[in-house]
Amino acid sequence: MNKPKFLFKIFLFLFALSAANVFAQTDKTQPQADQCYEVILQILVASNNPSEKSPLPPTLSNIVKKLKTNYNFSDYRLTTTFLQRTSNSIEYKSLMNDFTGLKDNNAPVFSDWALKNLRNLPAANGRSTIQFEGFRFGARVPIVANVRDEGGKTSAGVIYEEIGIKTTRASLNENEPTVVGSLATSKPDELMFLVLTVRAAE
């Protein structure tokens, strides 16, 4: 009659010992920081004006080769580079010193871009793939126009027009510059390309 009680006590002892070991192992586990990335957004302008040609960084050589297979532009120049550090998302708003043909305008240009929910996922080919839920790039550009005041008098003034692109659920290879969109500029013979690079931060 005492045998079942004895076995039950042994079971309780072993159960308590196992739970204590699990708790001790869990308690020793230290939280780890999320992987951090450097996000580089570059504005590449293509045109047929050789006077505006400037040296390009070697990292963009493959991008230019691919673009030349689809476009007839002869010259490419890098106008702006943004560098941000994040483990998940970016929201960026600032002035732009150079925005194609508007850099000599006295009115400033405002930029606004964002990258949301960045994740590193394995691809079928074994390479690290960067996936993000959304990317947005926008700018408020000044346009000289006739403005009428309350008295009916007309004078030259500046109004702002918003331009930009927005995409959802996209991916790119880690540390590989990738064109994520294009925009027309104020000149009829040039086009602006947005090049995004995401790499692990050191």
Q: Which residues, other chains included, contact 62 with Cβ-Cβ below 8 Å and sequence gap of 6+? A: 177
Does the pLDDT of residue 179 top 90, yes or no? yes
Alpha helix locations (H) across the chain?
2-28, 61-70
Q: Which amino acid is at 196?
A: L
At 187, list the tokens.
């000149």
Pick the more confident residue, 22 or 85: 85
Q: CA 132 to CA 135: how far, in whole Å?
A: 7
pTM: 0.77
pLDDT score recorded for residue 78: 92
At 93, list the tokens.
């708003």
Does the pLDDT of residue 142 top 90, yes or no? no
pLDDT score recorded for residue 132: 94
pLDDT score recorded for residue 33: 79
Q: Which of 135, 118, 131 is nearest to 181 (CA)?
A: 135
